[in-house]
Chains A and B, each alone.
Chain A
Amino acid sequence: MNRIIKTALLLSPVVTVVAGIGIYFGLSTSGNVAKQPKPLKKETAPNVPDNSSKDNKPEAPPGLNIEIKDNSQTEKNPLWLHVFPSINQEFYYRYLRLVDGKPIITDDLIAHVVNDVLVKMQYTDGDVSWEYSFKDDTLKNDVTISFILKPTGRGILKDVVNKSYHIVVSKQD
């Protein structure tokens, strides 16, 4: 029961955002009007419903013709923040294990992160690749999980988008 509620909570912002993007695509292709996608004001935690995306629903001013340009690397509102979700340590903490007194990041933890990122990705028109690598395969206390999206080019995104999640577990004596 709990799990269903959690899943619902997790999905609600995704749904609103996806809806927003869908509306935008519809406008840009039919109306011949292009506008830079207006990114969300801030990166929202996946468990916190955020209604701000509604306010950001892009409008298409008639008559305005702007060349489509991928701005995924603009510093202020980089697109990579929005293509791939942000994740919260609280959800993954439970998959830590202690082995010989040392905390390790388990395959289970990594798989949950990959699952969540792939499920919550907000732009899927392309090939998405992922991989992970431990800084030290024996210690298993520091892992980087990387994602890369190569857009087909048919949609709004033209350039490759990267996002890496750096996960570190530390221990006090």
Chain B
Amino acid sequence: MSSLIANNQTYEIVKQVETANFETHANFSLYNSENNDASSIMDKLFGFYVKRNFIDDTFNIAWSDVDLSSPLRLLDSHDFQASSSNKVTAGNTTGVISSHDESGATREARHFALNDIKFRDATSWSKSIVDSRIKDTHAIASVFPMFSFFNKEAHLKTKQALQIDLIHEIVFSNDPITFVRADSHDYSSYMKTNVYYSHFFVVPRNVDQYKHNITITDIYKYDDLDNRKNGNIDENSYLHEYAFNQNKYSSSSQKSQLNTYIQDGFAKDETISLSDNQALKNIYKIGSINISDQTFYNYATNKVEVGLGGDAKQGDLVPYNFNGNFDQQYNLGFIDFLKDYKISISQNFEQKVLDPYAGKVQLHITSSNVDSHLNSTKSTLTGKQLQSFRDVVKEVNFVSLEGLRRFSDEQDN
């Protein structure tokens, strides 16, 4: 059982992992075996990668194209197709990114965005290439993803944190060494699949019985890919890039739901660490989910009310006379795929804060006859004034400090 240390305490991790199976097919027709460059071209033909956009659960397709220093390898056309159960879509080029590799050669990567098919709905991705310079060359590589069921709810107890592992990037490539030796036209068995995850950590804050609790949960993240790239952090690492302001929250405190907002946080957090020995130098907090409504404790009804009352403050409050299991629930409202994710947290409070006999707050009264040396600010009542005070109390039950002082000021006649 792995655990996590954050907020100066150890959390047991409850893990949910998204899994998928990728069936791959690679086919190369009319392969010109006399061309010595074929195998290195093949290496580029089949390799592509799929990058998921968490915010709307669409995906981008990209591949590293050709080495511009070698004109032979320029390709004429690229086509990309994705389909879901009821839709087929072709990709549109959204950008060409040029970069330089270690040898100084310029490389290009083409990006295709497929906005109308959700990542989880995709049933096939295929890429075909025609290269007229290598006569009659036509290649097609297809992938058929199968995503497993993902349970969108979690019940956390005190000191438990939720780890959600979601597929972030998938790299399909062929094994260049085995590929060279291939003499068949079906290269499926030479395609390799590498899946890179984003790991999200939903870490509930401990509920404080004495104070307004503003932050419900902190969200941390680390990417396999960041670790692979040795320290480069994904540019989309603010929580608002992933989350919607729809995290309706409710608790044992009140019947009505409270509104929440997302607060970004982006810093390598020194206080979080995982115990199962993963290389976690790039784990960081991306933000937190906070309550925006104000609440206050109504001492007359012993209930927490929402709104601007006497000493209302932002955050949720445990009723001061509450003991037992305190439950919090909210929809994570966090990335398209998880927007219905229900999280409930249960925390036990054995003792009430306010109770004359069993409360955490205790009142002690002792008395003595030690001369307290009353100073000049004292209030003094003569016998008559005391009698008039007593007469008034009979009527009104209670006289405030202010009112009490007025009895002393009354003319004693």
Contact = CB atoms under 8 A, between A and B. Distances in A.
A162 B373 CA distance: 9
B364 A89 contact: yes
Contact of A107 (B364, B367, B378, B401): B401
Given A97-B299, A98-B210, A124 B383 contact: yes
Which 6 pairs across A and B sit closest by C-beta, in order of nearness? A101-B210, A146-B372, A93-B356, A80-B369, A131-B378, A129-B380
B70 to A, nearest CB: 70
B361 A111 contact: no
A129 B383 CA distance: 11
Taking chain A's interface residues, is the majority helix, strand, or loop, or is none over half, making it mixed? mixed
A51 interface: no
A57 interface: no
A172 interface: yes
Interface stretch (B144-152, B339-347, B385-393): B385-393
Contacts of A165: 365-367
B370 A162 contact: yes
Given A125-B383, A129-B379, A144-B372, A164 B367 contact: yes
A118 B386 contact: yes
Nearest to B360: A172
24 contacts: A7-B397, A73-B369, A86-B367, A87-B367, A89-B364, A92-B365, A94-B299, A98-B210, A107-B400, A111-B404, A125-B383, A126-B383, A128-B380, A129-B374, A131-B378, A146-B372, A148-B378, A162-B370, A163-B367, A163-B369, A164-B370, A166-B366, A169-B361, A171-B210
B211 A127 contact: no
A170 interface: yes
| Interface size of B as a range | 35 or more
Contact of A130 (B211, B351, B368, B378): B378
A38 B54 CA distance: 86
B378 A129 contact: yes
A71 interface: no
Contacts of A107: 400-401
B381 A127 contact: yes
Contacts of B400: 107-108, 111
Contact of A93 (B363, B370, B390): B363
A79 B366 CA distance: 17
B353 interface: yes
Contact of A78 (B320, B369, B399): B369
Contact of B381 (A100, A128, A164): A128
